[in-house]
Structure formats: C-alpha cells, structure tokens
Amino acid sequence: MNNFRFCSPTEFVFGRNTVKNTAQLIKKYGGTKVLILYGGRSAVKSGLLAEVEGNLQNEFIEYVKLGGVQPNPVDTLVYEGIELCRKEQVNFILAIGGGSVIDTAKAIAAGTPYAGDFWNFFERTVAINRALPVATILTIPAAGSEGSENTVITKTKGGLKRGTGSPALRPVFSIMDPVLTFTLPANQTAYGITDMMAHVMERYFTQTKEVEVTDRLCEAILLAVIQEAPRVLQEPDNYEARANIMWASTMAHNGICGVGREEDWATHGLEHELSALYGIAHGAGLAVMFPAWMQYVYTSGIDRFVQFAVRVWGIENVGDKKEIAGKGIQALKNFFISMGLPVDFAALGAKAADIDRLIETLKINSGGSLGNFCKLDMNDARAIYEIAAGLRGCN
C-alpha cells in the first residue's frame, strides 16, 4: 500500500426533504451573497429552483441566478459567471444540478478571485489555491462532483475538454435528496450508473499491491450498484434504490476508493475526446471505452482482472486466467447492454473515420501518454479506439 493523505471535508446532508436546510447551511458556511447556478430545464420544471429561492428569501439571503449550463459544460458560461460574481460581489456559489452545473460552479469559484484567465487552471500552468465556497444540491448521481475536488470544462475554441482539481474546490456541503432523482429518464440514470462504476474501476485497476481494504471497498460499491441498477431502472420512484445509487456516486469519486494506490484514468482520457467531439453523454462514451480499454490491457495485469471477474461478477475461479478475465470483461459489457447502453462506436454514433481527430486532441490533452495500469502512448490509444470501432479484436 502506498502512503496517502485523504481529506473529504464536504458535509453531506442526505435524505428526504433536506433541501429545506439550504439557507441555514449557506449561513453556516459564511455565504451572504449567493450565485445560484443551474442547468437547462429540469430544476425549473420540478419546482426545485423556486423552492430554493423561497428558502433563501425566508432567511433574507441575497442571491443572483444564472441558468443554462449545458451537458459537457463550456467555458463561455464560466466567463459569464465570473463576471457576474465580480459585479454582484458574490461570496458563495450554490450549484443545483449534476456534474455539468457543479463543474461550472467550481470553475467560476476558482476564476472569480483570480486576476488571469481561468483557463490557465485547465492548462495546469497555474494551481488553484483559492476559490469561493461552492455547495451543491445534487439532482443526478453520476459525476461525483458533489464530493470531488475536480472540474471538467470544454473550451469552445478547439473543442478541448479538460479537467483540473484542487482541495479548494471540494464542495463545503452537498444536499442529496434521492426524491430529486425520480424524474431522471432511464438513459440519464444508466449513464450515471456507468460513470460511477467507471470512477471505481479507474481506481480498482492498479498495479499497486496489497491494498485489500480499498479493493474491498471498490468491490462493495460495484456490487451494490450492480444490484440496485435494475431496480432503479424498473422502478424510477423507488426511494431506497435511488438512495443507494445516489450515495454510490459520491463514494465512487470522493477519493476513498483510490487511497493507498496508483490510479489509472486512461479510459476517462479516451472518453473525454468522444464527448467533446460528438456532444454525447460522458457515461455513454464510458460504456463503449471501458470494455475496449480492458480488452487491450488485461494481459498487463491478469491477476487483477481475474479478481474483478471472480469477486465482482461471480465467475468461477477455475481454469485459464485469460479465459476467466475475458468472462469478467464480457459480464461488464453485458451489464451495460442490459441497461440499454451502447458498447461500440456504431451504437454511440461515433465514426472510425474520426479516430485521427480523436487522437489529435487526445495528444494535446494528455501530452502523448495516459494511464498507469498500463502506460499507453498514442498508438495504444488508436488501437483501443479501433477495438471500440470493431476494427480489431482484443489482445
């Protein structure tokens, strides 16, 4: 096990009717002038935005609003938000929504007190040391941004989708009422489930030895998600199933699943190029890229893939290791298919002819290499895209 530091300071306020605590929590964390940030329609349609506004008004907390965050959020709204926060002297940001809204809130929070261009943080030429406090009311369990220190934004010019992070970006509190997720359509629910599983798997597939506690935590979260996923898809109003899925998304990405080990993140790098180019949902891209990545790298750490097959998918640990590992990968693929997700380029609407473009932006974003479980260069990345496109078989 490697040395580590782990600090997840977010106050999670979980359960039914927890939105009524919003104003009180904002006061607790020093907010006096708030930017309420939200997405396209869902928070308005559900009445959540109005409820939050009422709650703040009752407690005499001043606020301004900015809506219109789109999925795969872009830099233009971040610039708009920074300008608004400076003009209105905002000292607290409340994000109502999912990863896209929360990530935009984090970028605005870091950019407002910074004199330069906020994109420098995403170029990683400047570290984020200071940010306005961010809080969230989560409406879709997926990205885990409600508990993470990360933000992912796309620069409109050039279509570069990039992530950055800092402890300063961890939300001070996150309100998580599973009832708010009842309105999620099946496809968004499934994309979210895929993303949280991917966040666990990016950490599970490691070459670091002897990390049994972290391994078992990862497996427990995956097993719980695999159990609850069909339930939540069949019964979108099932509170308990929604609650378990919601908490899983946070546990998957607040960092606890990565302690003591080297993490991978190659698949996220490969996927971000797809969602940047086609505007598809991040979770849909991951359902295609994760099995493709696994098929390419599994021989670089066969025992880990056998462990995944046996402990997560219940494959019998008898016979050839490659065969057992292959069955685990196939089980994951079948699970994605059972949720109606795409598992190849064709189903995703991606084109093999675009692989050169994907590699071009991946090279810029990754600096030419990615991953740790197996160090990948751009030839490897091309091969994985080709597996996803059905142009070649697995290793």
Q: Show contacts with ligand NZQ in window 100-159 (CB under 6 A).
A: 100-101, 103, 139-140, 142-145, 148, 150-152
DSSP string, 23-66: HHHHHHTT-SEEEEEE-SSHHHHTSHHHHHHHHHHHTT-EEEEE
Cα separation of 49 and 249, whole Å? 23
Question: What binding mask, one character per residue, do residues 155-194 give for Zn ion by CB under 5 A, x or -?
Answer: ----------------------------------------
Distance between first and last Cα of the chain: 29
Phi, psi of 29 (to 5 degrees): -100, 20
Name which of 34 and 201 has its Cβ closer to Zn ion: 201
Q: Show contacts with ligand NZQ in window 50-89 (CB under 6 A).
A: 71-73
Q: Which residue, chain included where needed, has tokens 């809080």? A: 135
Cα separation of 50 and 283, whole Å? 29
What residues form DSSP beta bridges with 137? 96, 175
Cα separation of 189 and 181, whole Å? 9
Name which of 8 and 46 has its Cβ closer to Zn ion: 8
**Among residues 75, 146, 177, 195, the one that binds Zn ion under rule CB under 5 A:** 195
Question: What binding mask, one character per residue, do residues 233-272 give for ligand NZQ by CB under 6 A, x or -?
Answer: --------------------x--------------x----
Cα Rg for the chain, rounded, in angstroms? 20
DSSP helix/strand/coil, 63: strand
Nearest distance in Å: CB 44, ligand NZQ: 8
Name which of 177 and 195 has its Cβ closer to Zn ion: 195
Nearest distance in Å: CB 142, Zn ion: 8
Cα separation of 381 and 355, whole Å? 10
Amino acid of residue 184: L
Contact between 103 and Zn ion by CB under 5 A: the answer reads: no
Which residues contribute to the site for ligand NZQ (CB under 6 A)? 39-43, 71-73, 97-101, 103, 139-140, 142-145, 148, 150-152, 180-181, 183-184, 188, 192, 195, 253, 268, 275, 282
